[in-house]
Structure 1
């Protein structure tokens, strides 16, 4: 406990806190650092954002800040939040809140609270319900003094932080009813912090998982992204599946728990997927992709086509023909439903589509033209495809794993050689679209596209042949089509 409090004092030892406390105290209002920044300070790290809560309403907060800040904005005024920049620090100050969701609403009803303790009570988990009071106390729970500041912890969040436990300040059923997104945040914090969800809290998640349907797709997407970028995504994903939340927001994941029988056996696709996610994270550093959401989500979705393509074969075998293509389509559908941007959707879906391509190479080395096609199809996702393909090897057969690893080493080496020789990163035909229109006397049309495709196939098969030879081939193709 003493070490944690020392971390808090050290991390928050800044003139910024003194200045903010002084100006709000002079205006007759309370101000406290609250939530994630306090939690992170105990963990000995500086939070990326500084969140404060105050007894002042938004207009009063703005009036207090204006003479002392370099810039300010009120885009969150409707929710009680005023933002500002002081030197290198960006802060957000929010009026005490006591809002909640109505039974059928997709957005919270914003209401302002009256005290710090009430504000802390309406927060999601006890580890986020701690505050560092920067002004004098105006009633409430007795604080623990930290230097010139006061640590306020009415719901024993520090003990839960030390124990690595996630629980709600009040009854979890009430908390999740007020804001169902908190159930998803529990899974997200399990991923980010590696904490366990307290049993009563988890039981409430299981009982109320269906309530997540009132939350907007945009808010769900934000939490899912943070979960995937956490240090322990397996823990978060397992919490989603075991609570029933995944069935609501990402049904492709629990669907991977395929039933087996005594006659047909195959790898546990769900467990394999979680392992691939972990191994993809391990490969991130090898390809300079640390904290890469696209790679991690592609690893999560890469086998989602298997449930729809599973076929029980005679003799006890199981096949999943074309699960790569089916999985790519499922990925696009799910990511669109979750309101991801088009570029992210395209990148993840392409990786899912291509994740099996390499495995033919391990049986027979490819021609140079096949390697060119591999690079062309991967395009700007090539490094991610390298990481995903390697991560997809989860066999316990060491000889097989070594064979696949050596085969991919060889493929990467050959790609490097061909890239150096032919600049494959900018793979194009020897003639441009303008050249084609000039040579064939065409205007922009479908025929130009067909001619370009012919030249691209020629480039892939034979490598660069030069503009003069390409023109001869183009004219011959045009004459014979």
Structure 2
């Protein structure tokens, strides 16, 4: 409690009658975290108080209130302060209407005392998330996801009764705006406990209430290489990916620079989200061959389309949608490259085409593929270990590819095709220059003379086909 007795807000009136520190700021202080902003509840009308505090802090006053719910935000260099009026006749009544006990405490800034009428402090000490009232999820169903978000961020557990209430009310999540759900999900994805949290959400039925598209994957069995059904495999893929990313630099020290340059750490939340949905299209593409083999032709493309529908419902940004769609659509490409390598048909151009096609997401896709293969069973088979080693070499090759992109320029241009080879300008120029650049990036060509010679040979090889 010492961190509370030391609270000093010099911008407040003296004495600060009827002003209470509440919500996230108070919770963070009590859990040893630094508050990102300040939440104040004020007894009575708040407009004059908000104006006064804005002047005292030198901040900008923003009216965020909606009809029937006044709310002012003060944005200043020192802090962001949210000010709301007290709900009910007393601060205790206000707290009783809040979501979870850890958020239902107030600190009286005049009396310098904690007001805890719901047992929030005890729950914080026990590391428990508990709803204030049985109707908490009825009043705001977004709290269904928020409960898990707090558990993930704080490493707390849900009280048994709260978990049961989530299972009972999970259907209410359908009434919540997609952007509110995504705002909670992205915070879960940003934690190091995302995989475990998703599994808890799956156990309560909330995960499939948010993602009904995952429902058909429960019990959808796979081929002999997979021990688990599609749903369990997807949860395990998130887990494997989270573990792999957390341990990436130690496991692959030679890729640390490549990973940072590719922005891999910053891609972690969307990679985990993509892992959850990467096989969502499998049930719709499942086929059983005459010999009994199970196949999923085109499942990556189907999964990408379904993911885009989900993304629109959750209101992901355009960039977030593009990242997840690309990762899911191409997540199986490293496996195709591996099969070609095993068959002796993979040349340097195959890798370069993959790097060019997937751009800055090539390395995240390779890492996703590693996690995908790790999630097939409880232990890795020899072929799976070979695939992990292949992915490591593929990532190394991507680093070399990036170096060539950054340090070398195209060897020839359209003027060279006209002046040196006597070609007339045509749409084919783009194809020729693209092929030459592909050879440059895979290291086959390194000079202008080599590039021109390659084009001459290529045109000579392709001329009989053109004449025919």
Q: How far is the alpha carbon of 1:369 from its aligned partner? A: 0.4
CA distance 1:418–1:206, shift in 2 (3 Å)? closer
5+ residue gaps, structure 1, are: 98-112, 137-148
1:127 paired residue among 72, 83, 102? 102
Give the TM-score taking structure 1 as reference length. Answer: 0.79
1:391 aligns with 2:371: yes
2:80 paired residue among 65, 90, 95? 90
5+ residue gaps, structure 2, are: 249-258
Q: How far is the alpha carbon of 1:164 from its aligned partner? A: 2.4
* Distance in 2, Cα, partners of 1:426 & 1:62: 58
* Distance in 1, Cα, partners of 2:89 & 2:337: 66
Q: Please name the residue that 1:162 is paired with.
A: 125
Q: How far is the alpha carbon of 1:316 from its aligned partner? A: 5.0
* Distance in 1, Cα, partners of 2:322 & 2:270: 10
User: 1:30-69 residue pairs with structure 2 within 5 A?
Assistant: 30-69=18-57
Q: Please name the residue that 2:137 is paired with.
A: 176
* Distance in 2, Cα, partners of 1:428 & 1:254: 49
Cα deviation 1:207-234 (Å, max 9, x = unaligned): 2222222221121121121122223213
Alignment coverage as a number of residue pairs: 433
Q: Please name the residue that 2:335 is paired with.
A: 359
SS of residue paired to 1:151: strand
Q: Is the 8 A contact 2:355 2:362 kept in 1?
A: yes
Q: Please name the residue that 1:410 is paired with.
A: 393
Give the TM-score taking structure 2 as reference length. Answer: 0.81
Q: Please name the residue that 1:228 is paired with.
A: 189
* Distance in 1, Cα, partners of 2:416 & 2:136: 66
* Distance in 2, Cα, partners of 1:345 & 1:189: 25
1:323 aligns with 2:306: no
Q: Please name the residue that 1:101 is paired with.
A: none
* Distance in 1, Cα, partners of 2:99 & 2:185: 17
Q: Please name the residue that 2:63 is paired with.
A: 75
SS of residue paired to 1:253: helix
Q: How far is the alpha carbon of 1:352 from its aligned partner? A: 0.8
Q: How far is the alpha carbon of 1:53 from its aligned partner? A: 1.7
Q: Please name the residue that 2:430 is paired with.
A: 452
* Distance in 1, Cα, partners of 2:95 & 2:288: 55
SS of residue paired to 2:50: helix
* Distance in 2, Cα, partners of 1:37 & 1:426: 51
Q: How far is the alpha carbon of 1:68 from its aligned partner? A: 0.8
2:6 paired residue among 13, 23, 41? 13
Q: Please name the residue that 1:103 is paired with.
A: none
User: 1:147-296 residue pairs with structure 2 within 5 A?
Assistant: 149-171=112-134, 174-260=135-221, 266-284=227-245, 286=248, 287-288=259-260, 289-290=264-265, 292-296=268-272
SS of residue paired to 2:301: helix
* Distance in 1, Cα, partners of 2:242 & 2:226: 28
Q: Which moved more, 1:364-373 or 1:468-477?
A: 468-477
CA distance 1:461–1:165, shift in 2 (3 Å)? same
* Distance in 1, Cα, partners of 2:222 & 2:213: 21
Q: How far is the alpha carbon of 1:184 from its aligned partner? A: 1.7
1:423 paired residue among 379, 384, 405? 405
Q: Is the 8 A contact 2:222 2:230 kept in 1?
A: no
Cα deviation 1:397-456 (Å, max 9, x = unaligned): 353443222222222223333443x32799978436x999999777xxxx74x6424532
CA distance 1:313–1:198, shift in 2 (3 Å)? farther
